[in-house]
Chain A
Amino acid sequence: AQTVTQSQPEMSVQEAETVTLSCTYDTSESDYYLFWYKQPPSRQMILVIRQEAYKQQNATENRFSVNFQKAAKSFSLKISDSQLGDAAMYFCAYTGNQFYFGTGTSLTVIP
């Protein structure tokens, strides 16, 4: 069965610094997508970044980038130049035949 694991329940980062959130997944499928979602205190889930498994190039969206290691089944999120507005729960997600969420990482940004 597919699973998504986020091993860091909480993380903190100084404003303007860089932080990396970890995610690993388990699957036997070859065709799948991976996502990072952000859930701020408003609780609105926001898509941050997506990665197609067939693409070797790591996805980037402004200050957000991923390190996709397909063989290791790892999909970490790097946030550069952290801002106060980045404080939120971050969920890693997998979609193949089914959709799975990780348990989330709570990110605190310290001014």
Chain B
Amino acid sequence: GAVVSQHPSWVICKSGTSVKIECRSLDFQATTMFWYRQFPKQSLMLMATSNEGSKATYEQGVEKDKFLINHASLTLSTLTVTSAHPEDSSFYICSARVGKRMAQYFGPGTRLLVL
């Protein structure tokens, strides 16, 4: 149980294009989903927290107009990187949890390369 999928696993795009990443909780309903960015050999950096049907809460320094998050249902959240640039290249990970103080379950991550 507690499986989270993430799609795509790999994406290469040209600078200036937009990329959408999907995160789904497959066998549970997630009250909250999280989006992280991870640089090599570093810890996870929280980008935003989203609750179903509500606007996402972004961490300081994260551009909300660049990283659009939609949490349309209890099992699906999407992250859209708009007008991607090479500095947006990174590993993006989503996670989901059932309730406050519960464990987060992570998707397998998406490697984004912007050329």
A residues at B contact (CB < 8 Å): 31-33, 35, 37, 42-47, 50, 91, 93, 95-97, 99, 101-104, 106
Contacts and interface: CB of A to CB of B under 8 A. Distances in A.
Contact of A43 (B43, B100, B109): B109
Contact of A44 (B42, B43, B106): B106
Contacts of A97: 100
B101 A47 contact: no
A55 to B, nearest CB: 13
Nearest to A94: B101
Interface of B: 2, 34, 38, 41-44, 46, 91, 93, 95, 100-106, 108-109
Contacts of A44: 106, 108-109
Contact of A45 (B41, B46, B102, B106): B106
Nearest to A31: B101
B101 A32 contact: yes
A61 to B, nearest CB: 13
A47 B109 contact: no
Given A43-B109, A44-B109, A45-B95, A104 B43 contact: yes
A45 B93 contact: yes
Contacts of B2: 47
Nearest to A106: B41
B39 to A, nearest CB: 12
A43 B91 contact: yes
A37 B43 CA distance: 11
A97 B99 CA distance: 11
Contact of B104 (A32, A42, A43, A99): A99
Given A99-B104, A104-B43, 20 more contacts: A31-B101, A32-B101, A35-B103, A37-B106, A42-B108, A43-B91, A43-B93, A43-B108, A45-B44, A45-B93, A45-B95, A47-B105, A50-B103, A91-B43, A95-B101, A95-B104, A96-B101, A99-B34, A99-B46, A106-B41
